[in-house]
Structure 1
Amino acid sequence: MARANAAYYAGCDPFADFITAPEISQMFGELLGAWVAVVWDRLGRPDPFMLVEAGPGRGTLMADAQRLLRRVAPACHKAMRLHMIETSPRLRGVQAHALRDATAVPVCWHGDLRDVPDGPMVLLANEFLDALPIRQFVRRGQGWVERFVRDGAFMHAASDFPAGHPACVRPVPEGDVLETCQPALDFVHALGTRLLRWSGAAALIDYGYDAPAWGDSLQALRDGRPTDPLQGPGSADLTAHVDFRAIADHVPRGVEVWGSVTQGDFLAALGLAARTEQLARAAPAQADEIRAAAMRLAAPDRMGQLFRVMGLSSGLAGDLPGFVGRRAGDGTGRGKTR
């Protein structure tokens, strides 16, 4: 999966195969821009601070967020230093074009979170974790076999489930699949470690689940339709559902974990309904289209239930916007499921 997706994002236009929330409506990026401004204020208005997006796609989310920040939160916009985590040279060019007229802040690109300069940070990651490579293990008796690909077909080999992984104690039935995504766990652990050094917050938005679940979630999209993930490696987008339960359990102690909550609830808390009607009144000819886009983002039978949002924070005065409360914890500030 790692090599296939690297080739895919380097040489293909992923947005021909799927559409992300920022491409559906400007409201998504605007609401996240407003979220950044409130978080910045609750962090004590640090100047400077790093605004970071991981996996920025076409740059649409950040461009919409920047337009709002320039208009309604100029002090926050002035204090920010804009950093994008993107490994594809082609997508970096697309992002630069999208941001050219959206912000007066210089943009820096990095291949890894560790390359972002030190300092207080607010990070956004929309549909970033789902594209990271997974491993699949199949329960066989009291042990496991690992599912892998050889010569264009799935094969199995005896293997041990990764020791210490948060999901290793789940009662997976015989013959069922348990997935791991070590790059996602590594990213979140690095993010949490940084938040222990510097104050900051993050919003991780992706489709996935927040329960001790299992099952095969690997899927491929080509030309907007599901396809065989083994056909034409590098020509289709490969994704897997994000295990938010495992993500929360991998956050370093001392970092606050918020949620996860559904995307619909998160956007509602940020004021999606009010922004929808504001735009509809300003453009009555497009009012139906604007409302339909909001429904697509937030309705339970659309993206609103399938996508989830998890927050991380440190050094925050008050609650993290968009969340009703911290994840049930063990008293040390670390989110811990029970």
Structure 2
Amino acid sequence: MAACNAYYYATRDPLGVGGDFTTAPEIHQMFGEMVGAALADVWTRIGKPVEAVYAELGPGRGTLAGDASRVLRRVGFEGAIHLVETSPALRERQAALLPEAIFHDSLDSLPEVPLLLAANEFFDALPVRQFVGDRERRVILAGGTMAFDRDGEIVETSPARAEVAEQLGRHLATHGGAALVIDYGYAGGERGDTLQAVRAHRHALVLDRPGEQDLTAHVDFKALAEAARKGGADASRIVSQGSWLETLGIGARAMALAAKNPDDTQSIAEARRRLCDEEQMGRLFKVLALRAPDWPSVAGLE
């Protein structure tokens, strides 16, 4: 999974109508604005530390960073924008939108200062391990094609995700800051196979065309929270994306945008529904906040 996704992301921009999938920031600016407002609120309540920076893990085309930082700038935030991105194709898109951005290959090289960090649909692409009983499920060659070596009741784990979450928790605990993790997944304890492939906005066979389609698995948010706490950070309760966005005021923002742009009223309403309705992204996607123990809670996740 790690090898396939490394090649996949390095060789293309997978987002948008002509790609394989669309993320929340690409649906409408309201999503990034809500993220930016939540981070701006935390930064303001902690006293507006001038050394703080905005950081993002897996920033896509840079759309979320652009929308969130625009809101942060409105309250006086002047920190730099740091993007953790390994894909040359996506870095090119991000640099075109955010020429001032500073790029990193990993979380390790982020500056040792307070972070206002976002990770939207980042953890789902990190590799999982699957177990049937006490045996790890593996990929084998059978009849000239790839296949799984066993079936049964599956339990998924992700040491790679836990490692990043613990590292992020350690950074926040040591240097300060707050992070928002937004992804599709579950609150913890669920069992079953969630590994999936997407190509051209449709589900595909997981072992088909390795490196040419997006591989993801649902995120265990409880496991992320536990790993971040191990690193020394505080972790919030886990809520659905729709509930969180509505609590933050996406409805009021939609009305304000529609009032300024009457011709876009329908598209704004459709975007809000897509982001918030339970039948769409609202329930499946979850939100978790991590923070330094002496930093305030993130709004909507107290």
User: Could you say which TM-score interval applies, normalised by the shorter chain?
Assistant: over 0.9
Give yes or no for the alignment of 1:8 onto 2:46. no
Quick one: distance in 1 between partners of 2:299 and 2:186? 21
1:130 aligns with 2:124: yes
CA distance in 2, matches of 1:61, 1:302: 20
2:140 paired residue number: 150
Cα offset, 1:211, TM superposition: 2.8
Check whether the contact 1:280–1:286 (CA below 8 A) recurs between aligned residues.
yes
Unaligned runs of 5+ in 1: 101-105, 158-173, 326-338
After the TM superposition, which residues 197-208 of structure 1 pair with which residues of structure 2 at under 5 Å, given as runs? 197-208=174-185
1:233 aligns with 2:227: no
The CA distance in 2 between the partners of 1:237 and 1:318, in whole Å, is 36
1:112 corresponds, among 106, 109, 112, to: 106
Whole-angstrom CA distance in 2 between matches of 1:316 and 1:270? 22
* Gap change, CA 1:244 and 1:270, over 3 Å in 2: same
Q: Compute the displacement of 1:66 (Å).
A: 2.5
Q: Is the 8 A contact 1:83 1:109 kept in 2?
A: yes
User: Which of 35, 46, 50 is the matching residue for 1:47?
Assistant: 50
* Corresponding residue of 2:266: 288
| Number of residues of Structure 1 aligned to a counterpart in Structure 2 | 295
In structure 2, the CA distance between the partners of 1:194 and 1:310, relative to structure 1 (3 Å rule), is: same
Residues 3-44 of structure 1 show CA distances to partners (whole Å, capped at 9, x for unaligned) of 111111011331111100001001011111111211111222
Deviations 1:106-133 (A, max 9, x none): 3110011110111111110000000001
Q: Please give the per-residue CA displacement for 1:196-227, whole angstroms capped at 9, x wherever unaligned.
A: 21111100000000031110000001111111
Identity %: 44
The reply on whether 1:20 has 2:23 as its aligned counterpart is yes
Task: Return the offset for 1:179.
Answer: 0.6
- Please identify the structure whose Cα radius of gyration is greater: 1
Secondary structure at the counterpart of residue 250 of structure 1: helix
Match for residue 244 of structure 2 among 266, 284, 303:
266
1:91 is matched by which residue type in structure 2? L
1:183 corresponds to: 160
Whole-angstrom CA distance in 2 between matches of 1:91 and 1:317? 32
Deviation (angstroms), 1:69: 3.0
Deviations 1:73-121 (A, max 9, x none): 2x21x2x121000011111111011224xxxxx3110011110111111
The 2-side partners of 1:29 and 1:284 are apart by 21
Aligned-partner Cα distance in 2 for 1:154–1:205: 31
Q: Which of 189, 209, 230 is equivalent to 1:212?
A: 189
Which residue of structure 2 aligns with residue 94 of structure 1? Answer: 93
CA distance in 1, matches of 2:275, 2:85: 25
Shift of 1:234: 0.6
Equivalent residue number for residue 251 of structure 1: 228
Q: Which residue of 1 aligns with 2:172?
A: 195
Once the two structures are TM-superposed, the CA of residue 315 in structure 1 deviates from its matched residue by: 4.5
* Counterpart amino acid of residue 14 in structure 2: P
Check if 1:313 corresponds to 2:291.
yes
The RMSD of aligned alpha carbons is 1.5
Q: Give the 4+ runs in structure 1 shifted more than 6 A.
A: none
Kindly indicate whether residue 276 of structure 2 is the aligned counterpart of residue 298 of structure 1: yes
- Give the CA deviation at 1:150: 2.2
CA contact (8 A) 1:43 1:199 kept: no
Tell me by how many angstroms 1:246 deviates.
Answer: 1.3
For 1:83, the equivalent position in structure 2 comes to 82
- TM-score (norm. length: structure 2): 0.94
Q: Which amino acid aligns with 1:233?
A: P
Displacement after TM superposition at 1:256 (Å): 1.4
CA deviations 1:138-165 (Å, max 9, x no partner) are 12xxxx11111123423438xxxxxxxx
1:205 aligns to what SS in structure 2? strand
Distance 2:188 2:56 in 1: 26
Query: Does structure 1 conserve the Cα–Cα contact (< 8 Å) formed by 2:12 and 2:89?
Result: no
Long gaps (5+) in structure 2: none
Q: CA deviation at 1:316?
A: 4.3
